[in-house]
Amino acid sequence: MFFKPRPPAGNSHHASVTDLQDIGQRSLIRIIFATTGLILWVFCILQFMAGNYLFASFEAVVGALLVWGGWRIVRVRNVVPWVYLYLLPTFSFLLYIIVIPDASSTAFVWVYTFPVLSYLLLGRERGGLLALPFVLLALLLYLTTYPVKLDARSLIDLGNAVLCGLMIIVFVHLYEARRAVAHQQLQKMARTDALTGVASRGSFQRDLEQSILEAQRTRRPLVLVILDVDHFKAVNDQYGHHAGDQALRHICNRLSLRLRQTDLLGRLGGEEFGVLLLNTERDAAVALVEALREQIASAPLVYGEQQIYLTVTMGLAQWPTDGITAEQLYRCADQRLYRGKAQGRNRLVSDNT
């Protein structure tokens, strides 16, 4: 099995779940920008009909800029400045229409969009920090512009407005908190193999590609090891698939005990695993990997009353000696792995001799 070619890492570092989140955020921003621009054009027409030509012209220009921004947002590298560039003027403008002469008292309802837009576009922490001051300032401006009488009816009206805004903030905050947790869980599922808990194939491949890019900058070597569990089908056939699952977990546990924090272990599929050793020369890697192989062979899996002896065959390739790209390294290590199988299994092959 070889890694499929991927686009250059500079265009694909937000991969997997992060890619989907980024695409979703940009689509949401595009919709919000375009919708706000269209709403401004509607108000532009109304302002023009009311004889407010200067204000109508301003809304027409801003609406056009927002529609253009919605079209442009999919091409920018960092969307956060664009979000702030949208939210800060928008919130300031909505505050302004509360206090302008002859403003409609119902213009205050737009304040309820502050927490919704902030949390949607900036997330829980930054969204909360941005929305709360604007909401409090809006309340202060409203009370200054429309003084509340101390009678029951006025206080009820004020209570409805304030409590509704407070409930919106609370609900949006809770929703964003749960969404963030769900997203983290989804990221973890995408990064790790569900059975063994080590890196998934896609995550391992991305880390290998990024490590090669880093090695090209620093000129530090790295080593890729591909290993395959010997006679794994026989384990499944003799003891059952549950024992086979336990065997894979057992091997990952044994490997993790000896690997360094900077090393990476990933499941590439079935009973095949990859080990990435960063800043490691071939000789040091051979010593470490041989120790790993011997540790697996000398520590059988205890399955009920049975002891299941397991061994692995390994192929090793070093960057840049054995390959420049991730695919070249994998092909070299994979070929050496199959040479090890042909030579009797339970061995490491690290060169072409």
Q: Judge whether 26 and 74 are in contact, CB under 8 Å.
A: yes
Q: Residue 293 forms beta bridges with which residues?
A: none
- How confident is the model over 274-283, as a mean pLDDT? 92
Domain limits, the chain: 9-191, 201-349
> Which residues fall within 8 angstroms of residue 338, CB to CB, at 6 or more apart?
315
pLDDT digits (tens, 9 = 90+) for 158-197: 677 777 777 877 787 777 778 777 777 776 666 788 899 8
d(CA 55, CA 72): 26
Residue 90's closest CA among 167, 29, 140? Answer: 29
Across residues 222-226, what is the average pLDDT?
95
Instruction: Write out pLDDT tens, residues 14-63.
Output: 344 444 456 667 888 888 888 888 888 988 898 888 888 887 888 888 88
Contact of 65 with 77, CB cutoff 8 Å: no
What CATH number has the domain spanning 201-349? 3.30.70.270
Per-residue pLDDT, 172: 77
The predicted pLDDT at position 3 comes to 46
Are the C-beta atoms of residues 295 and 257 closer than 8 Å to each other?
yes
| Rg (the chain; Cα; Å) | 30
In this prediction, residue 157 has a pLDDT band, given cuts at 50, 70 and 90, of: low
On the question of pLDDT at 321 being above 60, the answer is yes
Q: What H or E segment, with its residue span, contains residue 223?
A: strand 222-229
Q: How does 18-35 read in b/e, with b if 16+ C-beta sit within 10 Å?
A: eeeeeeebbeebbebbbe
What pairs with residue 306 in β-bridges?
Answer: 303
pLDDT (0 to 100) of residue 1: 44
Q: Is 170 exposed, middle or buried (0-12, 13-18, 19+ CB in 10 A)?
A: exposed
In the predicted model, what is the mean pLDDT of residues 74-87? 85
